[in-house]
Amino acid sequence: MAPGACGPAHAAAALTALPERTLETILASGSLPGPSLTSAVVLHGDSRARTALARHPRIDARVLRQLSPSATRR
């Protein structure tokens, strides 16, 4: 990764600073978040970000399964 580049963990951490309404707008409405942001939330997101992404009406069932609490316990 290039110096100063933001990795998935940094992207997920940045989401924690956003107000609830902004987080919901980015992750739960409109166009689906891009694959990089989706992956960052699945792998490194906190419960707020994971819940917001799970609320998106067009989220893929495979992603939704990865977001479920039981998937993180395996």
Task: Name the DSSP class of 37.
Answer: H
Distance between CA atoms of 55 and 10, rounded to whole angstroms?
A: 22
pLDDT (tens digit, 9 = 90+) per residue, 11-70? 999 999 999 999 999 999 999 999 999 999 999 999 999 999 999 999 999 999 999 877
Supply the range of the domain harboring residue 52. Answer: 8-72
| Domain-located, residue 13 | yes
* Count of structural domains within the chain: 1
Query: Are 43 and 67 a contacting pair, CB within 8 Å?
Result: no
| Domain-located, residue 3 | no
Distance between CA atoms of 30 and 16, rounded to whole angstroms?
A: 20
| Domain-located, residue 28 | yes
Distance between CA atoms of 58 and 70, rounded to whole angstroms?
A: 21
The pTM (predicted TM-score) of the whole model is: 0.84
Residue 2 has pLDDT above 60, yes or no: no
Q: Which two tokens stand for residue 4?
A: 């100063």
Residue 72 has pLDDT above 80, yes or no: no
| Domain-located, residue 63 | yes
